[in-house]
Structure 1
Amino acid sequence: MILFSILSPYFLNFDNLITVIKQTSVVGIIAIGVTLVIVTGGIDLSLGSVVALSGVVAGFALAKGASNFVGILIGALIGLLCGLISGVIVAYLELPAFIATLGMMMSARGMSLVLTQGRPVYIPNNKTFNLIHNYNLFKYIPLPVIYFAVIALLTHFLLKRTSTGRYLFATGSNEEAARLSGINVRLVKLFSYGFCGFMCGLSGVILLARLNSAQPAIGSGYELDAIAAVVIGGTSLSGGVGQISGTIIGVLIMSTMKNGLNLMHVSQFWQQVIIGGVVILAVYIDIKRREAQRL
């Protein structure tokens, strides 16, 4: 942050900082969802595609005259359904999470394109629905930031203060030991994927409100951004280790880097190279930390 503020006089501008925080929110909500999956030792590559499909179906519902509440509910439930399908494939059919969610990624994206024929779905002028994204609390705090903060607090409580959170960590730490101790490991995995899908559904609705249209191609790369943020935040890809505060820090680091690089007019291609390097470094540090703990 100090480097970007030196290299670009606009970086610490108040409006720019608000923009960074606002842009953080959608990917942040997705990252919170996938944190639970990674804590259990899984992975979800379908995040961006599920965001798109949720937005498309919610957009169709609103375009056909559904109320705002129904549109939001449909979008969230589509995300939940996709997550549960992935969870069933991983937990009950015992396919590798990478393969299961890769299939969901392709299926959800394909369904978005089939439903829309590759064209945006425009919703009627709906100022109330648009407030979901565009309203600022106390004139300065965007509503998406409030959603992100509330979801982060509730999920932190879930992980740290409930038996469900303990089961998630136990499953990721040692699945066989968790099973022998009486934990329904399959149900725990199903819950994590369902929760992640639900977060993607909510994010799809927020993006729908921002754009006033459902874009079937939106969300491409969100899965990489979210997983990268989770890893940078200290959640172990091997499972059993992670916290929501770390994910929040990871998301802020990712958003700050992207915004700073944009202000410095760094090419999008080079940005991917830089962020990829940061992710590799974060994983390397995680591996070395776990090796040190074993000694």
Structure 2
Amino acid sequence: MSDASQATTQTKRSFVQSLELDMRLMGMIGAFILIAVAFNFITGGNFLSPRNIFNLTIQTVSVAIMATGMVFVIVTRHIDLSVGAVLAICSAIMAMTQARWLPGLGIDLGSPLIAPIAILIGLAVGTLIGAFNGWLIGYQGIPAFIVTLGGFLIWRYAGWYLTQGQTIAPLNETFILFGGSEGTLGEALSWVVGILAAIAAVYGVWAARQSRIRHEFPTKPLWAEFSLAGIAVVAILGFVATLNAYSIPKGKLRRMFEARGEVMPDGFTQGHGLPISVLILILVAVVMTIVARKTRLGRYIFATGGNPDAAELSGINTRLLTVKVFAIMGFLCALSAVVAQARLQSHANDIGTLDELRVIAAAVIGGTALSGGAGTIYGAILGALIMQSLTSGMGMVGVDSPLQNIVVGAVLVFAVWIDIQYRKRTGIK
């Protein structure tokens, strides 16, 4: 190798080392960009249109929320095959609460009490089911595969009997806002949220640098810090601008003005902005990341996944920890039921079908190790986005549903193989 080529290689290495990039994350981002660009070319620019990005975003939320919980489950060397069924039973209970039970008690469907009561009941049921699964696994010693496989069969059909196989609609108007398709922030408030998020991203980079300095750890060069902060700001504000560019249909705008007793001005347009469901996902991501990185519970989860025997010998109550992890998973399934049901504006018997496979695939594609002990929240969300992008893109180009599942399955196997090779090369276990 010549001196010039050696110098070029060293420059590239020093650049990457200066940024301290997570190469697995960079690989996932690169894969997502490749998928998006390829489908955008094939569809003549429709894939990256504001309308499709908006739809892709709200379609990803439900699976992404559950994928964040699946990270904790897999990290602790368990699996949950019942997430789609738990979503279904929680959806059935919330729909029946809104459309049947509370109206039967004299509370009108349009009452502002309907949505909070239904959501609280759904979240409580999901959490209890998750905790019950964790108790069977942690305290009774039944393998998680068997417990959740049983739940996969039990809870969906319990929901079917609860609704007598019927599609339950209509739902409370306030509840529907959580689905994203009807509930958005609008342009102005979306910009406010986007700017605040950009400021938070810059502050996060600065705070991380100050923490390293205080603890006398090596820091990145200032240009590297500014580069990462700049990329984050551009990504956040670009995302907001794209969603604001998707205009609300004229007919819907006209009805909105009429509901206020006003007449829509000629030529008036308004963008959708950030969906409320996306804000829920962002909040879940932030909370779950804090739990994983900053709390005792998070440290116990990763310690147990890395070496269960050593964790137990060090005084960690691994059985109670299992109950907590599955309770969190159940809570997130119920929250996903809120988003999925509100987006569909009804409860259907097939809601959440195959979501267990999509959720596991999202976590694994996002870098969660099936051997336990390693995984990230942002990786799982990105994995869910990649999965939904593949499904959405193939649907837009007319690929049959069976072939879509074949491709997704192949991508899952390929992602696991890539992860294994990466761990072998880097020495990560």
Instruction: With the length of structure 2 as denominator, give the TM-score of the two structures.
Output: 0.66
Match of 2:379 among 235, 246, 263: 246
Cα drift, residue 96 of structure 1: 1.2
Aligned-residue identity in percent:
39
Conservation of the 8 A alpha-carbon contact between 1:51 and 1:200? yes
Q: Which residue of 1 aligns with 2:416?
A: 283
Q: Is 2:290 the counterpart of 1:157?
A: yes
Give 1:5's aligned residue: 40
Determine if contact 1:30/1:200 at 8 Å carries over to the other structure: yes
8 Å contact from structure 1 (residues 231, 250) kept in 2: yes
One-letter code of the match for 1:274? V
The residue type equivalent to 2:183 in the other structure is Y
1:25 aligned partner: 61
Deviations along 1:94-125, one digit per CA (max 9) or x if unpaired, are 1111111000111101201111121122245x
1:45 and 2:81 correspond:
yes
Aligned match of 1:137: 185
What residue number does 2:157 align with? 110
Give the total of aligned pairs.
294
Name 2:221's counterpart in structure 1: none
Q: Which runs of 5+ in 1 are unaligned?
A: none
Displacement of 1:186 in angstroms is: 0.9
Structure 1 contact 170–240 (Cα < 8 Å) conserved: yes
Q: Aligned partners of 1:74, 1:128: CA distance in 2, in Å?
A: 16
Q: Structure 1 residue 207: deviation in Å?
A: 2.2
* Structure 2 contact 61–339 (Cα < 8 Å) conserved: no
Stretches (4+) displaced over 4 A:
none
TM-score normalized with structure 1 length? 0.96
- Output one character per residue of 1:214-261: Cα deviation in whole Å (capped at 9) or x when no partner: 223211100111110110000001110001111121111111111111
| C-alpha distance after superposition, 1:185-215 (max 9, x if no partner) | 1111111111011000011122222233222
Deviations for 1:35-66, whole angstroms, at most 9, x for unmatched residues?
11111111000011110100101111112226
In the alignment, is the contact (CA less than 8 A) between 1:121 and 1:214 conserved in 2?
yes
2:235 — aligned with what?
none
Gapped regions of structure 2 (runs ≥ 5): 1-35, 108-113, 187-271
One of 3, 7, 14 as aligned partner of 2:50 = 14
Amino acid at match of 1:270: L
SS at match of 2:350: coil
Which residue pairs with 2:17 in the alignment? none
Cα contact 1:82–1:104 (8 A) shared by 2:
no
Find the aligned partners of 1:92 and 1:216 in 2 and give their Cα distance: 32
User: Hey, what does 2:315 align to over in structure 1?
Assistant: 182
Query: Which entry has the higher C-alpha Rg, 1 or 2?
Result: 2
Residue equivalent to 2:143: 96
Query: 2-side partners of 1:211 and 1:259: how far apart?
Result: 17
Query: Which residue of structure 1 lines up, in the alignment, with residue 265 of structure 2?
Result: none
Identify the residue that residue 209 of structure 1 maps to in structure 2: 342
Structure 1 residues 233-272: aligned runs within 5 Å: 233-272=366-405
User: Which secondary structure state, in structure 1, belongs to the residue aligned with residue 416 of structure 2?
Assistant: helix
Q: What is the letter of the counterpart of residue 137 of structure 1?
A: L
Q: How does 1:164-179 map onto structure 2 within 5 Å?
A: 164-179=297-312
Shift of 1:181: 0.6
Q: 1:135 to 1:90 in 2, by over 3 A?
A: same
Distance 1:180 1:70, change over 3 A: same
| Backbone CA RMSD of aligned residues | 1.5
Aligned twin of 1:273: 406
